[in-house]
C-alpha cells in the first residue's frame, strides 16, 4: 500500500516531534513511511466508531442491502454496525499476542482505567501506557492496510464505496472505424406538426 501526504496530513498530531505534524517521516530506503501518530489516530477513530456502534440501542440497528461488484452482481443483506464490531474484535484478536490482547480487552473493550489494568496485570503505570501506545500503533496500521476491505476509512466501510477498482481485469473498449455516412442521416428528431 502506498501512503500519501494528503492521506496522513489530516491524521497527524500537530505537536508530534517526529513528523512535525506532516504525517510522513523519511524511511531507511528513502521511501516515506507514516508516523506512529497517524496509526494511533486511525485506531482512535476506529475505536470511537466501535463504541458508538456498541452504545446504540439494539432496536435502532438497521439492515441494509449492499450490491457487490463483479460478474454475478449479487446483493447481500447485512447489519453494518454489528459487522463492524465483529470485524474490530476479530482482527484485533488475530493480530495481537495473548498479553497484548488481554490488555486490549480490559482497557479498550471493557473500559477499565489504567489503575485497574495495572493492578489486574501486575504492571506499573509507565509500562501500561507504553503497551497501550504500541497496541494503538499496531492495530491502526492493520485497520488501514487490511485487504480486501479495510476498517479505515470509516465512510468507505459503512457506505460500501471501494477506494479503487481494479481496471486491469476489464477488457478495453473496441474502437470502431469511423463511417463515412453523414451525421445528419444518423440523428432524427421527432417533429410535431403545428395544428
The CATH number given to whatever domain includes residue 140 is 1.20.140
Is 172 within the bounds of a domain? no
The strand ranges marked E within the chain are 24-26, 32-34, 64-67, 75-78
Share of the chain above pLDDT 90, in %: 36
Indicate whether 170 pLDDT > 50: no
Which of 9, 11, 4 has its CA nearest to residue 22? 9
Looking at residue 182, its pLDDT comes to 52
Could you list the residue range(s) of the whole structural domain that residue 98 is in?
5-157
Looking at residue 125, its pLDDT comes to 95
Is 126 within the bounds of a domain? yes
Looking at residue 68, its pLDDT comes to 67
Largest CA distance in the chain: 95
Looking at residue 162, its pLDDT comes to 56
- State pTM to two decimals: 0.73
Burial degree of 151 (CB within 10 A; 0-12, 13-18, 19+): buried
Is 178 within the bounds of a domain? no
Is 89 within the bounds of a domain? yes
Is 94 within the bounds of a domain? yes
Is 9 within the bounds of a domain? yes
Q: How confident is the model at residue 118 (pLDDT cuts 50, 70, 90)?
A: very high
Structurally, how many domains does the chain consist of?
1
Amino acid at each position: 500500500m502506498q501512503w500519501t501526504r494528503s492521506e496522513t496530513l489530516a491524521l497527524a498530531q500537530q505537536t508530534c516531534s517526529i513528523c512535525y505534524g506532516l504525517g510522513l517521516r523519511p524511511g531507511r530506503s528513502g521511501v516515506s513511511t507514516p508516523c506512529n501518530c497517524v496509526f494511533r489516530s486511525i485506531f482512535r477513530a476506529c475505536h470511537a466508531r466501535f463504541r458508538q456502534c456498541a452504545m446504540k440501542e439494539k432496536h435502532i440497528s438497521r439492515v441494509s442491502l449492499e450490491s457487490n461488484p463483479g460478474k454475478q452482481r449479487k446483493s447481500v443483506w447485512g447489519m453494518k454496525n454489528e459487522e463492524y464490531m465483529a470485524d474490530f474484535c476479530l482482527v484485533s484478536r488475530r493480530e495481537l499476542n495473548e498479553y497484548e490482547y488481554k490488555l486490549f480487552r480490559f482497557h479498550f473493550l471493557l473500559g477499565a482505567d489504567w489503575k485497574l489494568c495495572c493492578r489486574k496485570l501486575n504492571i506499573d503505570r509507565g509500562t501500561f501506557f507504553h503497551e497501550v501506545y504500541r497496541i494503538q500503533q499496531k492495530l491502526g496500521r492493520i485497520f488501514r492496510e487490511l485487504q480486501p476491505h479495510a476498517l479505515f476509512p470509516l465512510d468507505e466501510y459503512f457506505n460500501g464505496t471501494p477506494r479503487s477498482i481494479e481496471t486491469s481485469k476489464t477488457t478495453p473498449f473496441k474502437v470502431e472505424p469511423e463511417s463515412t455516412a453523414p451525421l445528419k442521416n444518423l440523428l432524427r428528431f421527432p417533429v410535431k406538426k403545428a395544428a
